[in-house]
Structure 1
Amino acid sequence: MSRLIIVSNRLPFSIDKKEDQPFLRQSSGGLVSALVSYFENTGSSVSKFKEHIWIGSVDFSPQDWEQVEHQSKTSDFSVEPIFIEDEIYDLYYNGFSNSILWPLFHYFPSLAEFNESYYEAYIQVNFKFAEKILSIAKDDDVIWVHDYQLMLLPQILRKKNTELTIGYFLHIPFPSYEIFRLLSTSWKSNLLKGILGADLIGFHTHDYVRHFIQSSKMILKVDEQYNNIQYQGRHIKADLFPLGVNYKKFNSAGLDEDVITLREGIRDKMPGTKIIFSVDRLDYSKGLMNRLQGFEYFLDQYPEWIERVVFIFNLVPSRDGIPAYMEGKSSIEEKVSEINGRLATLNWQPIIYRYNHLSFQELAALYQSADVAFITPLRDGMNLVAKEFVASRANQDGVLILSELAGAASELGEAVMVNPTDTKEVATAIDTALKMPLSEQKSRMEPMQKRLQQYDVVRWVKDFLDQLENIKKEQANQQVKMLDDKSLVNIIKQFESAEKRCILLDYDGTLSAFTKNPAHAQPSDEVINLLKNLTSDKKNEVVIISGRDPDTLNQWLGHLPVHLVGEHGGFIRIKNTTTWEKQSATGPEWKDQIRPILELFVARCTGSLVEEKKNTLTWHYRNTHPDLGFIRSRELLNNLSHLTANTPLQVIDGNKVLEIRLQGIDKGITALKMVKLLDPDFIICLGDDTTDEDMFKALDDIAITIKIGTAGTAAQYSIPSQLDVMPLLQQFTSKEINQPGHIPHMQQD
């Protein structure tokens, strides 16, 4: 059995002192609650892991740790602390993590403090985490990395050990591309690459998934379909896993004697009064000032509630080391004082303000005492307070007022939804909530509770880990055989012993890299020299089998002693001749029907273009916006499929292209025709595109076939990228063959 290694910024403990004796206090928070609940509910007898290990930084010294280490040994998990210098940690945590990433990802770009020293510390700490993990991790371990402080970590681990199983979960929003692109070029690129080192990437909502994928497409040019991402030869999945709460714990908390005592105490102090309650960490993303303004406006517009309602406003201390937070605290306290000073009476105070931590019992008592939970963040990754309130209402009464900008809004649609910046709407919502009949309260609460009960914290953990296991199986099933040194040596030996060889080569994406303008992809001097070297050996027959039109192939390669195949087999020119043989007698009339449709889609998709050849029409969308290009390509493919049904035409869905051509003409048919003509005893074939798969399938039993790139293929081997083509082909020139065992360097990045 494997081990589960949890990695988060902090361990789930801090050190407190009682009578000068240090002791470990378990931290609160959604992740801690989720994992501890999972460990408790999946004991060793049913767990798929033989051990749980938690790795994180700590806010105490190694000397303090020695005194309390024995207290950390639980039956649920063991811990591995990481000790970081205070100065570096401050730059990494208060700096890059919480003065750049946090405000930016929560749509407060004006609060971001861009500082290169912050990023340098962020890199340093992520490497320090990697060092600790790699010192204990085994190949079959499952590593689950959490949150925005460790975005670089998955890729660091992946580069050190490609066999690791790595999951990554982001607990805050992933912003839209327009916000994410505000990061410097290298920062945003490296952060995305870091996350993409994972096998499975989790987010709270579908919006966050799409934002991440869009940024990855725009910045790293990844390929993606239905949340499945292809990047650097790896199959990665991004998906939503909304974090739940410990439903049973909160729902049954009302039976706890301490909770009962606290709840009755709250109610005894406020007889006949409606209670509105909120609890938040002190943070500008929580919309605290907007909430106070909304409550104040409510009292002004609905004066009948004076002395009949109390707002218990609890803030939990957070990030005291960041000036913006302390300034926010002062502003909030001034606003509370202003409202209380203006509206309070001798017998009543509208807001009861508290700035402290709450125990579970205190929190549960407040959840159960309140008539209304008032949760209105300006932006929130999830917001578990809203879910905890719903779970706590065992009698299915109470009303939740929830910001539509909270991640939880997608699951708690029966709440009274508000835009926290709309003061009038907030005030109306409070009045509606306070007046809501019990029957309506229950009709709203019941479906929300059912949803939370079905997808609680244990289900969240299990769902993510199950999906991580599934994606590893999918990777194994899709894995292609990479051309290794041993296989290459064997191929070279076959090549050397052959008397007549046929070398079939695609052009675009194989001999030449893709360019924004197809006309700019003419062969380099290196390619020309390579082809000259290959054809200087009389045993070699080189066939360039391309989608290019005959005129372009003549211009670029016509002076070389190679066989040329244009338009995927539509035209053939035998070497040392000037005549092109057309492979179909059908005329070009069909183009007049197809061309206007392609031109319409050019107008609808900026950056796309139509390329017309003698036997084909091609719609290119490589230079379009990734999302729009893909959407338009699916629309066009659907239109063309219907239009060409029961005709001699076929539509080829290629690499950022859609090509329309006559049936019965493809690279596979043409490759077999050339092999029959040349009658070689050694055949090797290289290509990168969907159209090259026809060759790989046709030649499977008689040739060595090699795919450029790591997508699924019918080829026998793959090499990572187009950059590896020239070093590979150099092995088959007369100069290199005299150096047996010379293996090219394969590009890995």
Structure 2
Amino acid sequence: MHKHELVVVANRLPVDQHVASDGTRSWVTSPGGLVTAMKSVMEDVDSAAWVGWPGLTDEAIEPFEADGMSLFPVFLTNSEVEKYYEGFSNGTLWPLYHDVIADPNFHRTWWDAYVDVNRKFAAAAASVAVRGGTVWVHDYQLQLVPEMIRAQRPDLKIGFFNHIPFPPFELFAQLPKRNLVLRGLLGADLVGFQRERDSINFMTCVRQLLGYRSAEHEIHVPGIGVEPDRTVVARAFPISIDTSVYDRLTKDPAVLKRAEEIRAELGNPKRIVLGVDRLDYTKGIRHRLKAYGELLAEGAVDPHLVTMLQVATPSRERVDAYRQLRDEVELTVGRLNGDFAPLGRPAITYMHRSFNREEMTALYMAADVLLVTSLRDGMNLVAKEYISSRVDCQGVLVLSEFTGAADELRAATLVNPHDIDELKTAILHALAMSPDEQRAAMESLRRQVENNTVQDWADDFLSVLSEGGERNSSPHIPEVRLSGETAPPLEELDESVERFMSIPRVLIASDFDGVLAPIVAHRDDAQALPDSLAALRGFADIDGVNVALVSGRTLEDLDSRTHMPSSVVLVGSHGAEVGALPRDMDASVLDGASLSMNPQRTALLQSIRRTLEKIALKFPGTEVEVKPSAAVLHTRNARGRGGVNATEAALEYARTLPDVRVTPGKAVVEFSVIPATKGEAVETLARACAADAWLYIGDDVTDESVFARAEDDDITIKVGEGDTAAQFRLESPEDVRSFLVDLSRSLRTRTGRSDS
């Protein structure tokens, strides 16, 4: 798969599928501002990709090209769309992040789907980014993705931009799994927001809930165990629009003609008041209609001279709160028209549909007043589009002070939309403004928009991200070679093994659980497949072949389960314990001092054990195992959601232990007071036996430290699914058994030895 320098990750791909009358399908670029911004950025780099959902749930779509962009679809099921998008994203996060204007709903199944879908996006992004590349994640639907990507690809520069508000601590603290969301965001090198107060809210939440230090715009994020600490920047990057689009459209004769037609179709009123919004409860449409209705009732606005046009773009119509809002708005418009509309013309023209950009520009050019009365908005680009469309420097923008745009567009008529009297006064003031007053305000607004375009926004963000990413870069991080369940054809593995067998001296090593022994509910019941153990014992009898078993189990436990001869090296506790070496291996290569316990390490281990036992008591079924140099929290048998919660508590504790190697695995979190890894162990054993190449088979996160060290002649094999730095994949321990038996037969044939 071709790798890309820049990977944009968003909930949706930048294209929509169009089905023609004859049934043929094509992809059409979406008109949104983010698409416009990212497309220009993607064109400036040698290679860029966009990861997102294509909007379909009935088929998985392969990566494709559209409008010069490389697109990588993420497949979602109907259930995932319902729970992740309509549920947690828009039923929980959206209302909570918008000042709880509507009540958020919390459902644990929604959260589970949110985690699963974020993991899909992260895996897709990690698999297509070039080493040392940049990934830019967008918006509240994907807040866990930065940390998930970093876990797989710490070599990447990762940015996140939140397009909606970030709530104050008092509201954010209500969110279940709040710490996980914060840590998800802190996986980025740079977290961007629309407003300065949003970044302050975020840093306050991090400080209050996670206890991390922060100064100005920087957050100190401690690493887990011996991982390095990082610095995350959190600051405001107000998004804007592509003003060149409106420069072109406002000169288009068809658009100019359409603006005149719109005024004529509305009866050529003296003033047109326009509202343009997604049909969303955060946009303040009900407040706007209430204020305008009272002006009509009071006679302050004459419907013969002034007409209102409300465009409400359909939005999330499968969500109950949005269906209810639509009913309320339509009933209100109908009542006001019934009470105040002049003969032959409505007082309020309501349109519940989408318009293309040409039509919207004509509407902006025709409108004398634009009402933006959002109760809370990340930015509100409609306000900027209106300004960019008013090349005549006429028109009045009435702008809610609760929009991000209000921080920049200070020459607008700012208003508190919750105060109906104030909103009424602002509308009347806008209708009465003279051409000279309009010009003075609009010239100021246009300078602000033209000097801060969406391209400026993107360039600024990526520039700061590049600086932060370089500071946090990790030079020795493996890249993901295989994602999900992907695997090269077995013929490629056979070819690599054929080359491997021709190498004079080799090391063959394997993990135990999940590789030689199938995974079982209780770890004490694990038993290796006899044929697999026999094959490994046989390898050790072949000249030029050394064999090792490398496990997270203690050395004593591993020995009792395998009964290996002295010719097979046993390595326990992820490399912290090394058994006796055969005569043909150089024992001096092992650094015994670094693997020894001392009184300080013994005291630290006891402290860790006590803390993990306290965690285990809170979550029934969770167990603590104590090894000679490590303590392990096992969560495989935890009840209900206890496993997830116990793991979360253990990782929270891990961040307080800077000198302990902490390794999360499959239903385990291991705390080792001796800084050893399987990767270091295999590398050391390879030197000790002077191996020219090595082959390693593993199934767990802990085996990735081995896979990452593979060079050209080495072979690495991942057992089971999941993203991995391994070169090849086998599905199960049974497949490992077949592989080892075949390899044993081939090696013996090569050396002229029989199986007898």
TM-score over 0.5 for the pair: yes
Which residue pairs with 2:152 in the alignment? 160
Which residue pairs with 1:4 in the alignment? 6
Give the C-alpha shift of residue 102 in structure 1.
0.5
Contact 1:401 1:433 in 2 (8 A): yes
Which residue pairs with 2:442 in the alignment? 445
Q: 1:73 to 1:303 in 2, by over 3 A?
A: closer
Which residue pairs with 1:56 in the alignment? 52
Which residue pairs with 2:169 in the alignment? 177
Which residue pairs with 1:255 in the alignment? 251
Give the C-alpha shift of residue 369 in structure 1.
0.6
Give the C-alpha shift of residue 175 in structure 1.
0.4
Contact 2:165 2:378 in 1 (8 A): yes
In 1, the alpha carbon distance for the partners of 2:406 and 2:445 equals: 11
> Could you tell me which of 132, 137, 142 is aligned with 2:124?
132
Specify the code of the residue in structure 1 equivalent to 2:17. Answer: I
Which residue pairs with 2:32 in the alignment? 29
Contact 2:59 2:75 in 1 (8 A): no
Give the C-alpha shift of residue 268 in structure 1.
2.4
Specify the code of the residue in structure 1 equivalent to 2:219. Answer: I
In 2, the alpha carbon distance for the partners of 1:4 and 1:61 equals: 27
In 1, the alpha carbon distance for the partners of 2:364 and 2:96 equals: 31
> Could you tell me which of 216, 231, 239 is aligned with 1:243?
239
> Could you tell me which of 64, 67, 73 is aligned with 1:74?
67
In 2, the alpha carbon distance for the partners of 1:261 and 1:309 equals: 21
- Please state whether the residue corresponding to 2:466 is helix, strand or coil: helix
In 2, the alpha carbon distance for the partners of 1:350 and 1:279 equals: 17
In 2, the alpha carbon distance for the partners of 1:53 and 1:474 equals: 24
- Please state whether the residue corresponding to 1:303 is helix, strand or coil: coil
Give the C-alpha shift of residue 304 in structure 1.
5.3
Q: Which moved more, 1:136-145 or 1:234-243?
A: 136-145
> Could you tell me which of 189, 197, 202 is aligned with 2:179?
189
- Please state whether the residue corresponding to 1:252 is helix, strand or coil: helix
- Please state whether the residue corresponding to 2:245 is helix, strand or coil: helix
Give the C-alpha shift of residue 364 in structure 1.
0.2
In 2, the alpha carbon distance for the partners of 1:339 and 1:105 equals: 32
Q: How does 1:199-278 map to 2 (within 5 A)?
A: 199-231=189-221, 232=223, 233-269=229-265, 270-278=267-275
Which residue pairs with 2:77 in the alignment? 85
> Could you tell me which of 189, 198, 210 is aligned with 2:188?
198
Contact 2:51 2:73 in 1 (8 A): yes
1:456 and 2:453 correspond: yes
Give the C-alpha shift of residue 112 in structure 1.
1.3
Q: 1:366 to 1:354 in 2, by over 3 A?
A: same
- Please state whether the residue corresponding to 2:424 is helix, strand or coil: helix
In structure 1, the gaps of 5 or more residues are: 497-502, 514-529, 531-707, 711-717, 731-740
% identity of equivalent residues: 33
Q: 1:327 to 1:493 in 2, by over 3 A?
A: closer
Which residue pairs with 1:315 in the alignment? 312
1:144 and 2:136 correspond: yes
Specify the code of the residue in structure 2 equivalent to 1:7. Answer: V
- Please state whether the residue corresponding to 1:143 is helix, strand or coil: strand
Specify the code of the residue in structure 2 equivalent to 1:140. Answer: G
Q: 1:490 to 1:171 in 2, by over 3 A?
A: farther
Q: 1:294 to 1:477 in 2, by over 3 A?
A: same
Contact 2:661 2:675 in 1 (8 A): no
Give the C-alpha shift of residue 134 in structure 1.
2.5
Q: How does 1:263-662 map to 2 (within 5 A)?
A: 263-269=259-265, 270-303=267-300, 305-475=302-472
Aligned structure 1 segments of 4 or more residues deviating by more than 4 angstroms: 61-66, 476-479, 489-496, 508-513, 718-721, 723-726
Specify the code of the residue in structure 2 equivalent to 1:104. Answer: L
Q: 1:491 to 1:199 in 2, by over 3 A?
A: farther
Contact 1:89 1:125 in 2 (8 A): no
Give the C-alpha shift of residue 164 in structure 1.
1.5
Q: 1:404 to 1:491 in 2, by over 3 A?
A: farther
In 1, the alpha carbon distance for the partners of 2:393 and 2:589 equals: 72
In structure 2, the gaps of 5 or more residues are: 224-228, 477-573, 577-586, 609-627, 629-655, 663-668, 677-687, 689-701, 706-756
Specify the code of the residue in structure 2 equivalent to 1:458. Answer: Q
Normalized against structure 2, the TM-score is what?
0.63
Contact 2:240 2:384 in 1 (8 A): yes
- Please state whether the residue corresponding to 2:250 is helix, strand or coil: helix
In 2, the alpha carbon distance for the partners of 1:205 and 1:88 equals: 31
Specify the code of the residue in structure 1 equivalent to 2:264. Answer: D
Give the C-alpha shift of residue 161 in structure 1.
2.0
Q: Which moved more, 1:402-411 or 1:295-304?
A: 295-304
In 2, the alpha carbon distance for the partners of 1:139 and 1:348 equals: 62
Aligned length: 525
Normalized against structure 1, the TM-score is what?
0.63
Taking CA–CA contacts closer than 8 Å with sequence separation of 6 or more, which of the two structures ends up with the larger relative contact order?
2
- Please state whether the residue corresponding to 2:132 is helix, strand or coil: coil
Which residue pairs with 2:721 in the alignment? none
Specify the code of the residue in structure 2 equivalent to 1:182. Answer: Q
Contact 2:661 2:671 in 1 (8 A): no
Q: How does 1:724-739 map to 2 (within 5 A)?
A: 727=673
Specify the code of the residue in structure 2 equivalent to 1:355. Answer: H
In 1, the alpha carbon distance for the partners of 2:604 and 2:673 equals: 15
In 2, the alpha carbon distance for the partners of 1:281 and 1:206 equals: 25
Query: Could you give the per-residue CA deviations for residues 152-204 of structure 1, whole angstroms, max 9, x where no partner exists?
Result: 111111112221211011111100110011112xx101111100001110100
Alignment root-mean-square deviation, CA: 4.2
Contact 2:4 2:48 in 1 (8 A): no
1:116 and 2:108 correspond: yes
Q: 1:719 to 1:396 in 2, by over 3 A?
A: farther
